[in-house]
Amino acid sequence: MSRFFSFGRLLTLLAKESIQMRRDRLTFAMMLGVPLIQLVLFGFAINTDPKELPAALVAPTQDRFTRSMVSALELTGYYRFVAPDATAGEAEEMIARGDVSFVVTVPSDFGRRVERNEDATILIEADATDPSVSSGAISTLSTVAAEALTREAGGLAVASAPPLVSITVHNRYNPEGITQYNIVPGLLGVILQLTMVMMTAMALTREIERGTMENLLSMPATPLEIMLGKVLPYLAVGAVQVFVVLAAARALFDVPFVGSLSLILLGILVFVLALVILGYLISTVARTQMQAMQMTFFFFLPSLLLSGFMFPFRGMPQWAQYLGEIFPLTHFLRLIRSIMLKGADAATVSGSLFALMGFVVLLAAVSLLRFRRTLD
């Protein structure tokens, strides 16, 4: 047997590594699960040209020209009127909450002006906090409007020329369509999620790997006290990151802060608390720091893709939107963008804020149950 190389020793080492891989089921699952998730998400859920975007219609007099216009907009595939008879106040609340992407306002004299071949105007307000959502839908407006009303007015004796219709588009909250206004607030959530979950997930697994877990268990401390002792210090780390990102957002990118700073900080606090408890929950499942890191990225990838940060949330299939609702980042993005860019008040963002609070309670309860079971 050669002292430099032996097939026998090599086969023995390969057999040993195969056994080790079978024992590490989590790593093996990651090897199969991550590519599968990427394939499904990128293949089905990601859409850079979103269709069926929710819209509200404000039309005091819904004559046949208005109906023809609405039908033409729906046929483009970009608009889905979820509130076809909304008032101006109701539509304003819906676009502020993010329930609709567009508000289409047709004035009461629209049909009369078309019949007289006078200038007729339609106002379309777009939620431009995500510029990529409204770009495709707005680009088709002028052609669609002219064709629809020309077809509808074709049988009129007074129609000696095509109706003169102008579409006024008002990009709400981000008139210039600056991408940084949408990206930078979202980056705060992404950075916090990656760092807070990973660092906290390492906390308990580090104790296990270093052999100091027995000392921790010998202390007269309850599972709740241990969990709080592990996660609360990372709130200070999160506070530093929040200060840096918000300061950079204002100083470097001139991102507007329209809403209440105290409301922003409250939402950030609840979000960070949910993240550190999630990291602690991961640490009760993982047995090594490598497993904790793998599980963190396994959670981070679909959360990043399905939250609406990289791709329009409304452009995803319905099943992907339902799946995206289970991630705290989705609700945080709605909250932070609504407050910073729209100036939303507490009532407007209460749904997202309560959802984040629900994550805190649920994750804390599961973490405490997991802690007791794994340490018995």
Residue 96 is classified by DSSP as H
Q: Which of 55-69, 121-135, 213-227, 354-368 has the highest mean pLDDT?
A: 354-368
pLDDT of residue 363: 93
Mean pLDDT to the nearest integer, 345-364? 93
Q: Taking the mean position of all CA atoms in its chain, how far away is CA 173?
A: 18
Which one of 3.90.650.10, 3.40.50.1820, 3.90.1200.10, 3.40.1710.10 gives the CATH number of domain 53-172? 3.40.1710.10
Cβ count within 10 A of residue 366: 14
Mean pLDDT to the nearest integer, 334-362? 92
pLDDT of residue 263: 93
State both tokens at 15: 């057999």
Q: What is the pLDDT of residues 213-222, one digit of tens each?
A: 666 667 777 7
Q: List the strands of the sheet with 79-83, edge to edge.
A: 79-83, 53-58, 102-105, 120-127, 165-172
Residue in 124, 122, 131, 121 with CA at minimum distance from that of residue 175: 131
Confidence of residue 235 (pLDDT cuts 50, 70, 90): confident
Long-range Cβ contact pairs of 342-349 (< 8 A, separation 24 or more): 342/96, 342/129, 342/172, 342/173, 342/258, 342/259, 343/258, 343/259, 344/96, 344/97, 344/259, 345/259, 345/260, 345/263, 346/260, 346/263, 348/93, 348/96, 348/97, 349/263, 349/267
Mean pLDDT to the nearest integer, 90-116? 86
Q: Give percent of the chain above pLDDT 90.
A: 17
Mean pLDDT to the nearest integer, 247-272? 90
Confidence of residue 169 (pLDDT cuts 50, 70, 90): confident
Task: Give the whole-angstrom CA distance, residue 308 versus residue 197.
Answer: 19
Contact 255, 249 (CB under 8 A): yes
323 pLDDT above the threshold of 50: yes
Bridge partners of 56, per DSSP, are 83, 103
pLDDT of residue 236: 86
- What mean pLDDT is reported for the chain? 81
Residue in 260, 247, 232, 256 with CA at minimum distance from that of residue 364: 232
Residue in 225, 364, 196, 360 with CA at minimum distance from that of residue 284: 364
Bridge partners of 81, per DSSP, are 55
Domain with CATH 3.40.1710.10 in the chain: 53-172
Q: Which of 17-21, 30-34, 259-263 has the highest mean pLDDT?
A: 259-263
Worst-scoring range by mean pLDDT, 29-33, 80-84, 240-244, 267-271?
29-33
Structure-model confidence comparison of residues 222 and 348, the more confident one: 348
Q: Tell me the backbone φ, ψ of residue 171, rounded to 5 degrees.
A: -80, 105
Bridge partners of 171, per DSSP, are 126
pLDDT of residue 373: 45
